């Protein structure tokens, strides 16, 4: 218990540190620009017939690598009693390996710093983004590609239990991946570490501030830091933290966010009620996913340039040629998922009994491990939300028409650039008043930040879109 509380305080101190010991937030942006200029990058669309080392499997038609590793594009048939569409077919990424998404941390001048990497993924809209210290699939770090090992891998492979600050299995995008999970891990390392040219030390507060900018902090960084809990404190301690924070000229809502994060007994919904609520939906709704031959998918069209839905909805599968000069392998080919349009993900938050509560949605996605996960208030990714009928998606019209003064977070963020091609979604957190009542529609529930952190400790409770937004919550 003492280690857990000490770790939480270390994370909290880092989250409250707007600047670190090595580089300013503004200079990080300049450093990223320099990193972009140093690297040779060529990302080109090609044809499936020219996609080197990839082929359609003769038995099931799935698109797979000659090694049988990395990932494949499979066909699935989905049946469910959730929502208005009970049956559909689609391609999906099948990547059963569990990869590493990990940060090395060290205390520098009494503040925990994170070793952050400037990394290019082939799907990134702006090339270089800030990624975790280690971001690698099992196929990559076991060198199936016959390239070099990822930097700093050895620190994670030989880590001692006492050096682990966070260790979770978390899900990936449930509409695009088939039951995919990664190991989200944060470790502390003692002693000197060689810092490679494309790495830098940042505080947690700096990383969160950099999320205010479009497409700077990548999805993998966001999912790891979203799992960080800042501990449970009594009301007196919480008031002390809030007072200290107010001396830093923090906005009132950020002070309320801190209270919501640290207090374990202030939610209008209790933890047992949330568990019962999720159990109800998991036992009421069904999700049956069956593998089918990829090339026999209903309503999907296969050309040599792309795989796409006949209505040009949802997403395309593209064949891509990649050259990135500073990667473990500098040239390769792969299929990638391209969205049909930009999406929107938003949390509505409300002060209830003077504590910030998040309106959380229960959402079923075909690739989920356990039928449903907790999602943002609004999550519109696979369909064109601009064409939806008024009132069709709960809270969507409200969020789109929100007053600027109610917005506390609004940026464009990229999805995971290793599998998704130029996918960028609008991420928002908005504060509401009496115009949104405490009584929510079916499949929505109010939760405090502290309660959300509790569920993040366990597998498959919060989806990646919710985690991405929670990572951006700042207390300074």
| Contact status, residue 390 vs residue 200, Cβ threshold 8 Å | no
Q: Kindly report, residue by residue over 454-476, the tens digit of the pLDDT.
A: 999 998 899 999 999 999 999 98
What DSSP character marks residue 7? H
167 and 278 fall within a common domain? no
Secondary structure element (H or E) that encloses residue 221, with its range: helix 219-226
pLDDT, mean over the chain: 92
Contact 372, 282 (CB under 8 A): yes
What distance in Å separates the CA atoms of residue 436 and residue 300, rounded to the nearest whole number? 40
Does residue 461 belong to any structural domain of this protein? yes
| CATH code, domain with 357 | 3.90.79.40
Q: How does residue 142 score in pLDDT terms, banded at 50, 70 and 90? A: confident
Q: Would you call 50 exposed, middle or buried from its count of C-beta atoms within 10 A (0-12, 13-18, 19+)? A: exposed
Give the per-residue pLDDT at 387.
66
114 Cβ contact list (under 8 Å, min separation 6):
14, 103, 104, 105, 133, 186, 201, 202, 203, 204, 207, 225
Grade residue 91 by pLDDT with cuts at 50, 70 and 90. Answer: very high
169 and 280 co-located in one domain? no
Same domain, 191 and 115: yes
CA-wise closest residue to 77 among 366, 340, 365, 317: 366
Residues 260 and 137 in one domain: no
Vertex 423 angle, CA 419 and 424, to 5°? 140
Give pLDDT tens digits for 215-267: 999 999 999 999 999 988 877 777 766 666 554 555 678 888 999 999 988 89
Residue 300 forms part of a structural domain: no
- Is residue 263 domain-shared with residue 365, that is, in the same domain? yes
pLDDT at 389 over 90: no
Considering the domain architecture, whether residues 348 and 442 belong to the same structural domain is answered as yes
Confidence of residue 168 (pLDDT cuts 50, 70, 90): very high
What is the sign, positive or negative, of the torsion defined by CA atoms of 360, 260, 224, 423? positive
Helices 271-284, 449-456: axis angle to 10 degrees equals 60
Pair 211, 243 in one domain:
no
* pLDDT score for 145: 53
DSSP per-residue letters across 299-337: TEEE-SS-EEETTS-SEEEEEEEEEETTSSSSEEEEEEE
Q: In total, how many domains does the chain have? A: 2
Say whether pLDDT at 339 is over 90. yes
Cα 270 from Cα 360, distance rounded (Å): 14
Please check whether residues 249 and 186 belong to one and the same domain: no
Answer yes or no: is 304 within a domain. no
pLDDT at residue number 14: 96
Q: Domain limits at 109?
A: 2-40+97-226
pLDDT in the model for residue 235 = 73
């Amino acid at each position: 218990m003492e280690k857990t509380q000490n770790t939480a305080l270390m994370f909290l101190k880092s989250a409250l540190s707007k600047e670190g010991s090595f580089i300013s937030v503004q200079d990080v942006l300049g450093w990223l620009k320099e990193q972009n200029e140093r690297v040779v990058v060529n990302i080109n669309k090609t044809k499936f017939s020219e996609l080197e080392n990839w082929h359609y499997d003769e038995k099931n038609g799935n698109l797979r690598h000659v090694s049988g590793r990395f990932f494949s594009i499979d066909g699935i048939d989905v049946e469910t009693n959730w929502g208005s569409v009970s049956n559909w077919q689609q391609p999906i990424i099948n990547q059963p390996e569990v990869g590493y998404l990990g940060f090395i941390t060290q205390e520098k001048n009494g503040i925990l710093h994170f070793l952050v990497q400037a990394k290019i993924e082939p799907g990134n809209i702006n090339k270089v983004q800030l990624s975790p210290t280690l971001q690698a699939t099992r196929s990559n770090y076991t060198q199936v590609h016959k390239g070099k090992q990822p930097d700093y891998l050895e620190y994670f492979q030989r880590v001692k239990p006492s050096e682990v600050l966070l260790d979770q299995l978390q899900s990936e995008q449930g509409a695009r991946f088939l039951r995919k999970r990664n190991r989200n891990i944060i470790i502390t390392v003692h002693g000197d570490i060689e810092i490679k040219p494309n790495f830098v030390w940042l505080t947690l507060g700096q990383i969160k501030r950099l999320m205010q900018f479009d497409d700077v902090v990548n999805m993998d960084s966001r999912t790891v830091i979203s799992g960080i809990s800042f501990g449970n404190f009594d009301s007196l301690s919480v008031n002390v933290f809030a007072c200290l924070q107010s001396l830093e000229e923090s906005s009132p809502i950020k002070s309320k966010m801190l209270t919501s994060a640290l207090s374990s007994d202030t939610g209008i919904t209790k933890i047992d009620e949330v568990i019962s609520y999720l159990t109800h939906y998991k036992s009421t709704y069904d999700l049956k996913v069956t593998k089918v031959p990829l090339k026999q998918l209903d309503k999907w069209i296969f050309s040599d340039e792309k795989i796409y839905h006949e209505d040009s909805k949802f997403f395309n599968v593209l064949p891509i040629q990649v050259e990135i000069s500073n990667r473990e392998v500098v040239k390769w080919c792969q299929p990638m998922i391209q969205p049909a349009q930009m999406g929107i993900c938003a949390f509505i938050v409300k002060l209830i009994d003077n504590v910030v509560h998040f309106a959380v949605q229960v959402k079923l996605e075909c690739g989920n491990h356990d039928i449903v996960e907790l999602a943002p208030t609004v999550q519109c990714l696979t369909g064109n939300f601009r064409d939806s009928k008024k009132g069709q998606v709960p809270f969507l019209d409200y969020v789109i028409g929100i007053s600027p003064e109610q917005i506390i977070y609004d940026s464009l963020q990229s999805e995971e650039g290793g599998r998704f091609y130029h996918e960028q979604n609008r991420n928002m957190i908005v504060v509401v008043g009496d115009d949104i009542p405490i009584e929510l529609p079916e499949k929505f529930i109010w939760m405090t930040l502290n309660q959300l952190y509790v569920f993040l400790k366990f597998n498959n409770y919060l989806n990646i879109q919710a985690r991405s937004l929670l990572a951006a919550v700042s207390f300074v």
